[in-house]
Amino acid sequence: MTASSAGRPSRIEIDASALRANAAALVRTVAPSALCAAVKANGYGHGAVTAARAAVDGGAAWLAVATIDEGRELRSAGLDVPILLLSDPAPDGDEALIDADLVPVVSTVESVQRIGAAARRAGRTVRAHLKVDTGMHRVGATVAEALAVADALRDTDGLFLDGVCTHLARADEDDPAPTDRQLDAFREVLARLRASGHRPTLVHAANSAGSIRFPSARFDMCRCGIALYGIRPAVGVALPDGVAPALRLVSAVSAVRSVAAGESVGYGGRFVSDAGTTIATVPVGYGDGVPRSLGLVGGEVLIDGRRRPIAGVVSMDQLTVATNGEVAVGDEVVLLGAQRGERITPEDWAAKLGTIGYEIVCGLSARLPRVVVAGPADSVGR
């Protein structure tokens, strides 16, 4: 049988009320520090504008993005809170950065001078945040270089030092020692800056895990990303009370067929029926962000509130499910989220695939429409 619907039923449902509640819970958790909501990577797959609006409604004072285009999207949607650009912009992005009224993170004297020159050409004064590398070793001024960059910010017309930040590399791990070392190095930098007369308005270091597990890392502001979406930063990190998943990945059965014992299903014949089996086809696949190998590592979907195994490899546009004859064309299929009291989470996928929940939700394709729903009626992840 083939589904009669002309449209493709696969979609992502976003509960904006859950995102608002999550932001409010994080605001309470980090108080009196401010909350900066990270909405990069299309709001971790939830839709950047939807996530940003909900976060601000929930009390977030700042937003954070990874690219200038992400910041432009938020400005175009009417969001007027401060937006932190988390990486030094490329030289050809300075004018766009200033035009979008973004707050850049800077880590070199060269970038300070370059952005300052662009700000002067635009007749603007831009606030910037100095990024210090205390152990991530990815970007940022070293502890030894930080004072020189801060001095350049003070001495460059068109730019001024509004904040100082670092990024915690291992705050989600059980051992607190690496994070404590980073925080010690960061405090050393702050002391040097203050001794030289620098008085940044905002000091920030904590990501979601740091905000939850290290109160001493909260400083003036916390940059929360994954926790905003109701997903744990790591298995051992509990989310604050009131934080819940806000996303469902939903489709519907498009075809049902019987497969005899010994017959294989899908590319490569990786699923072989050991008895007569009913196979349901679902029109969603790795082109939508469902990992191709999910069925090979025990991935499941929910149909009628019951877990059903994905059969074989996931195709680009479709996957197959072993169902034992209890489903019909049109039945709702939930890949992520809740259905009738049962739930599959991004962490469930991540555990099977050897990755993290961040990668799962950020990997959900733009091909999937994001639909904002009114609230949980078994509808999202609660």
Please say whether the beta carbons of 288 and 10 come within 8 A.
yes
Q: Which two tokens stand for residue 276?
A: 């007569």
Region 105-128: mean pLDDT is 97
Euclidean distance between CA atoms 18 and 278, whole angstroms: 36
Whether 267 sits among the annotated catalytic residues: the reply is: yes
Percent of the chain at pLDDT > 70 equals: 96
Within 10 Å of residue 155's Cβ, how many Cβ atoms? 12
- Amino acid 332 reads E
Euclidean distance between CA atoms 213 and 176, whole angstroms: 9
pLDDT value, residue 375: 63
Q: Which residues 6+ apart lie within 8 Å of 259 measured at CB?
A: 265, 273, 276, 277, 278, 279
Q: Is the pLDDT of residue 129 over 60?
A: yes
Euclidean distance between CA atoms 324 and 322, whole angstroms: 6
Please say whether the beta carbons of 55 and 34 come within 8 A.
no
- Choice among 44, 131, 229, 267 that is catalytic: 267
Give bridge partners of residue 313 from the DSSP assignment: none
Q: Is the pLDDT of residue 381 over 60?
A: no
Query: Taking all residues of the chain, what is their mean pLDDT, rounded to a whole number?
Result: 95
pLDDT value, residue 245: 97
Q: How confident is the model at residue 274 (pLDDT cuts 50, 70, 90)?
A: confident
Region 74-84: mean pLDDT is 98
Whether 286 sits among the annotated catalytic residues: the reply is: no
Task: Give the pLDDT confidence of 300-342 residue by residue, as tens digits.
Answer: 999 999 999 999 999 999 999 999 878 999 999 999 999 999 9
| List of long-range contacts for 193-199, beta carbons under 8 Å, 24+ apart | 193/146, 193/147, 193/150, 193/164, 196/147, 196/150, 196/151, 198/150, 198/154, 198/161
CA nearest to 346, candidates 207, 267, 234, 219: 234
- Choice among 40, 131, 286, 358 that is catalytic: 40
Euclidean distance between CA atoms 174 and 168, whole angstroms: 14
Prediction pTM value: 0.94
CA nearest to 237, candidates 204, 208, 205: 208
Euclidean distance between CA atoms 71 and 105, whole angstroms: 13
Residue 355 dihedral angles phi and psi, to the nearest 5°: -135, -155
Task: Give the pLDDT confidence of 185-205 residue by residue, as tens digits.
Answer: 999 999 999 999 999 999 999
